[in-house]
């Protein structure tokens, strides 16, 4: 069996480095043109150059998304942009529209092409078509079952790779091709500026009763009829591998560092554990615990087992039981002091968990907090990105993340 690639999202250079450090085999990012996450911190050419070096120095790959459906005016300068990406040394571009394939084959014929899930590829003939058109890899539609994926793998050339999403947000529309946001707010989901209108709470209104709102499902919560649960396949690594998937893709270029680190760590450990001993593989609940700590909606298994996509009917907000409160910048072994970059409010004396690659969670207590900016003792780190020092009884490492459970106050 071929060990599948763990493919992680990165909305910024810092997140890319975290994805690589926590075990991603490859990372996908957005550049300055034609990608479906217009609101993420997309990479400049200078950042992409640094990203390529960071990945390649560690034997990892970097893919750049160009997966919008372009209009005529979007194609201006696209060939020059592709040549620029090739010159930067990126490993592949992810595309959804034939026009980008044509431009890439002309401008950079040796550049690897991956077909985006936006292309809605649902069968082996379409997969083979894209391969013959020049694609090295096809990211399958999210609506496929494991049996359908295995059938596709059986009927395509050996050098044609398939990729599938295994974790992250799901869309009510077919592989993300939606017009609700366009109609309601004029924000084009197919150009990267989706308003997530599917997550809103909807009621029915009869035209002669303009102020009488009827919930679509009659309860006191209203309903979220298009609010998909999040995908999570961490418990089914053997099934994903046996289906022949070459790359396990994690959704989330808009998600934070905590999300990137935890998802990559969980899937990295699960895949590695399976390949160490496939016949005696056992799922570890600690992997699911990692994924339950990050911001998420209710989890489900998508369409992989033949069920229809599941919706969260109660509310659209994320479950956020934990949050990242700091990232370790350095640690002095002699003084047992750590310098921390604040990410969320945290107090002196708080007990926090430490998230580190290749290491189980462990807890520390934050003692003797010192504000480096104000050069004074403090009992709280409450300013965004403030630097502070703490004394800890266990050694820390640069890039360790400090995670804290959120207190829920019931009024």
Average pLDDT over residues 233-241: 98
The confidence score (pLDDT) of residue 88 equals 96
From residue 219, alpha-carbon distances to 5, 224, 309, 312, 318 in Å are 44, 12, 22, 14, 21
Give yes or no for residue 267 having a pLDDT over 60: yes
Q: End-to-end CA distance of the chain, in Å?
A: 54
Q: What is the mean pLDDT of the chain?
A: 90
Of residues 257, 312, 188, 273, the one with CA closest to residue 41: 257
**What average pLDDT score do residues 306-335 get?**
84
Does the pLDDT of residue 392 top 50, yes or no? yes
What's the average model confidence in pLDDT over 59-64?
A: 98
Superfamily of domain 322-405, CATH level 4:
Translation factors (2.40.30.10)
Q: Give residue limits of the domains in the chain.
A: 5-173+228-300, 322-405
Band (pLDDT 50/70/90 cuts) for residue 184 is confident
8-12, 39-43, 348-352: the lowest-pLDDT one: 39-43
Mean pLDDT, to the nearest integer, of 277-299? Answer: 95
What pLDDT score does 41 carry?
Answer: 62
Say what the pLDDT of residue 409 is: 44
Cα dist. 293→245, 317, 385 in Å? 27, 15, 22
pLDDT number for residue 225? 64
Per-residue pLDDT, averaged over 136-148, amounts to 96
Burial 226-239 (b: 16+ CB within 10 A, else e): bbbbbbbbbebbeb
**Structure confidence at residue 53 as a pLDDT band (50, 70, 90):** very high
Q: What percentage of the chain reaches a pLDDT higher than 90?
A: 73
* β-bridge mates for residue 202, sequence order: none
**Same fold across 5-173+228-300 and 322-405:** no
Higher pLDDT, 225 or 380: 380
The three-point CA angle 230-252-323 to 5° equals 80
Give per-residue pLDDT as tens, 290-301: 999 999 989 999
pLDDT of 239 higher than 70: yes
Report, at the CATH architecture level, how domain 5-173+228-300 is classified: Alpha-Beta Barrel (3.20)
pTM of the model: 0.88
- Give the mean pLDDT of 394-410: 84
- What would the DSSP string read from start to end of 82-143? HHHHHHHT-SEEEE-SHHHHHHHHHH-TTSEEEE-GGG---SHHHHHHHHHTT-SEEE--TT
- pLDDT at residue 285 greater than cutoff 70: yes
């Amino acid at each position: 069996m071929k060990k599948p690639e763990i493919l992680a999202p990165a909305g910024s250079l810092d997140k890319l480095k975290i994805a690589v450090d926590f075990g991603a085999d490859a990372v996908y990012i957005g550049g300055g043109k034609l990608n479906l996450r217009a609101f993420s911190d997309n990479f400049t050419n200078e950042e992409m150059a640094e990203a390529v070096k960071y990945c390649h120095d560690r034997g990892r790959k970097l893919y750049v998304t160009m997966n919008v459906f372009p209009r005529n005016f979007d194609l201006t300068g696209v060939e020059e942009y592709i040549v620029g990406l090739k010159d930067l040394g990126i490993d592949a571009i992810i595309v959804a529209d034939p026009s980008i394939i044509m431009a890439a084959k002309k401008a950079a014929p040796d550049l690897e092409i991956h077909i985006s899930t936006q292309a809605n590829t649902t069968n082996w003939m379409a997969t083979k078509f894209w391969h013959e058109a020049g694609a090295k890899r096809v990211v399958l539609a999210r609506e496929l079952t494991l049996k359908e994926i295995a059938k596709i793998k059986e009927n395509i050339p050996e050098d044609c790779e398939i990729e599938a999403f295994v974790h992250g947000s799901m869309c009510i529309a077919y592989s993300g091709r939606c017009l609700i946001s366009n109609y309601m707010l004029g924000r084009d989901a197919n150009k990267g500026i989706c308003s997530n209108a599917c997550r809103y709470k909807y009621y029915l209104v009869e035209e002669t009763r303009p102020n009488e709102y009827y919930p679509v499902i009659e309860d006191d919560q209203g309903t979220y009829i298009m609010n998909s649960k999040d995908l999570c396949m961490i418990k089914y690594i053997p099934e994903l591998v046996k289906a022949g998937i070459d790359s396990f893709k994690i959704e989330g270029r808009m998600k934070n560092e905590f999300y990137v680190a935890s998802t990559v760590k969980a899937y990295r450990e699960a895949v590695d554990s399976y390949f160490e001993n496939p016949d005696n593989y056992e799922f570890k609940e600690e992997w699911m615990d990692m994924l339950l700590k990050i911001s998420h909606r209710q989890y489900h298994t998508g369409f992989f087992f033949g069920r229809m996509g599941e919706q969260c009917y109660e509310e659209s907000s994320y479950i956020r039981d934990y949050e990242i409160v700091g990232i370790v910048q350095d640690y002095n072994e002699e003084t047992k002091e750590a310098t921390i970059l604040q990410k969320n409010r945290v107090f002196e004396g708080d007990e926090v968990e430490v998230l580190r690659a290749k290491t189980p969670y462990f807890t520390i207590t934050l003692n003797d907090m010192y504000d480096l900016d104000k050069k004074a003792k403090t009992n709280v780190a409450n300013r965004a990105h403030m630097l502070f020092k703490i004394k800890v009884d266990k050694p820390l490492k640069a890039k360790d993340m400090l995670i804290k459970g959120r207190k829920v106050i019931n009024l």
